[in-house]
Amino acid sequence: MLRSRILSTGMHVPEGLVTNHDLARIMDTSDEWIRQRTGIEQRYWVKGNEATSDLALRASEIAIERAGLQKHQIEMIILATLSPDHEFPGTACFLQKKLGIPGIPALDVRQQCTGFLYSLSIADQFIRNGVYRNILVVGAEVHSKGLEKNDRGRDVTVLFGDGAGAVVLGAVDIRDPKSEPHILSTHLHADGAFAEELWTPAPGTGNSSERVGASELENGLHWPKMNGKTVFMHAVKRMPEALIEGLKANGLTPSDIDLFVFHQANLRINDMIAKQFEIPEEKVFNTIQKFANTTAATIPIGLDEAVRTGKLKKGMLVASAAFGSGFTWASAIYRF
């Protein structure tokens, strides 16, 4: 039975450490306010000309090396990001150029916080159907260059960090689905009725006669906007729904899962989900305190951190769930 498994992980964050106290010097906020509402203590922001594909490159090179592969053995690149290097072409193409592996397909996924799980699902299907054997799946973001760093943008700016995480997905012939490492299932959802609850209005063809004009810039429409209460309300509903769906599809219960690696949007959301499912604290791996919300990169960064700290080991059963802009939400169940 042909299936895919995560062969390796990799991550990279830039050198620019930004604490809550640093943000309090440039906007009306405080370390206490940010910690209480989000759990975030610090984040990393790029300096100078670092782009999303630069962070993705470093995470990808680590993952490829750990997989025991040469770069030319990668047959497809799937990169999830909401912060592309440029409006076009896709950032996966810039990553491909930097990796030096021309000719293979390079795909961008624009599903924001759920982007990595969408990408994992796409890669899994290509491998299950025998099209490719080794696929690089990356989540990478440079949020810091697109945040309104003042009091008007405070509620969004304090949430986000820069970083990249990558996994190499490889084909395996499974004989015992109950014990051998592989992707058991992925489950994807979206509801565009809430697209404008968390979005960046400009630039875009949905505006006036131009993709971005003076009025859009004057009104700050090129900065991200968020209805925080609505996003929180839907996140604490949709992530558990997706998690239940994944567990039921595989005849599992929460107690069967060895480690939960959720999207890192808000520590309060993850704590509420853990409480709802009666998940012991030691089974939930959070990184938001250290890296903040890196959107498409949070889950692959979490996987790599969990491996490096000894929390995630070969053979463990893992559950991931995410919720984000779109609205989109998803889950994945996999044996590592």
pLDDT at 210 over 90: no
Give the pLDDT confidence score for residue 316 in this predicted structure. Answer: 98
Domains of the chain: 2-173 (3.40.47.10), 182-285+294-335 (3.40.47.10)
Contact call for residues 1 and 177 (beta carbons, < 8 A)? yes
Confidence check: pLDDT of 216 > 90: no
Write out the E strands in the chain.
Answer: 2-12, 16-19, 42-45, 76-80, 106-109, 134-141, 163-173, 182-190, 198-199, 225-226, 259-260, 317-324, 328-335
- For the segment 66-80, what is each residue's pLDDT rounded down to a tens digit? 999 999 999 999 999
Take residue 46 and report the two structure tokens written for it: 């790029």
Any catalytic annotation for residue 270? no
- pLDDT at residue 172 greater than cutoff 90: yes
Question: Percent of the chain beyond pLDDT 70?
Answer: 100
φ, ψ (nearest 5 deg) of residue 291: -115, -5
Query: Which stretch of 140-149, 156-165, 200-209, 302-311 has the lowest confidence by average pLDDT?
Result: 200-209
For the chain, percent of residues with pLDDT exceeding 90: 93
pLDDT-derived band at 218 (thresholds 50, 70, 90) equals: confident
pLDDT at 206 (0 to 100): 87
Whole-angstrom distance, CA of residue 200 vs CA of residue 83: 11
210: three-class secondary structure by DSSP: coil
Output the pLDDT for position 106: 98
Work out the pLDDT band at 215, boundaries 50, 70, 90. confident
With b meaning 16 or more CB within 10 Å and e meaning fewer, what string describes 15-50? ebebebeebbeebebebeebeebbbbbbbbbbeeeb
Query: Among the options 20, 234, 263, 286, which is catalytic?
Result: 263
Q: Which pLDDT belongs to residue 186?
A: 98
Does 263 participate in catalysis according to the annotation?
yes
pLDDT tens, residue by residue, 223-240: 999 999 999 999 999 999
Active site residue: 93, 113, 187, 286, which one? 113
Enter the DSSP assignment of 160. Answer: B
> What's the average model confidence in pLDDT over 47-67?
97
Q: What is the pLDDT of residue 214?
A: 84
Mind listing the pLDDT tens digit for each residue in 260-281?
999 999 999 999 999 999 999 9
Q: Annotated catalytic residue: which of 20, 134, 286, 293?
A: 293
Band (pLDDT 50/70/90 cuts) for residue 212 is confident
Indicate if the pLDDT at residue 209 is higher than 80.
Answer: no
